[in-house]
Copies of this chain bind each other. A is one copy, B any other.
Amino acid sequence: MDFKTLESQPIGTRVSLDELIRQMRWNEDGLIPAIAQQHDNGQVLMMAWMNAAALQETLTTGQVCYWSRSRQTYWRKGESSGNRQRLVGARLDCDGDTLLLQVDQQGPACHTLRPNCFYIELDAEQGRIITDPVADH
């Protein structure tokens, strides 16, 4: 069932993960953007990328695994830093090209040790730093 057909189906309609993965709009590198959101307070933590195997691993293990474009390898979030993301829920969007992960983040999500990656506030003239690294990390 393609995404156009799916959008008119009723609540509760199910499609196998294998079929969704076939239909999803992976980019030319076989990747899809995944937004991580803290499940209880709604804070958007970061955005990174997944390939199909990273998505399957994440859904199976309940620990978020991305694909690192810079290192060209799996990136099991927190594996070296300890700042893991436990998966609480995962959702796919209407045209199958973006994932939303609801997670429980341990420690700061950002490599700068800020709680989340979005620390530069923009207006029409400038950007301004709005958060500090977590002090006691």
Contact = CB atoms under 8 A, between A and B. Distances in A.
Interface of A: 6-7, 9-17, 20, 33, 35, 37, 41-44, 46-47, 56, 59-60, 89-95, 98-100, 110-112, 114, 117-132
Contact of A16 (B13, B14, B47, B126): B126
B12 A129 contact: yes
Contacts of A60: 124
Copies of this chain, whole number: 2
Given A10-B129, A35-B47, A47-B35, A91 B118 contact: yes
A115 B46 CA distance: 22
A92 B114 CA distance: 13
Given A10-B132, A11-B132, A42-B42, A110 B94 contact: yes
A24 B43 CA distance: 23
A59 B29 CA distance: 31
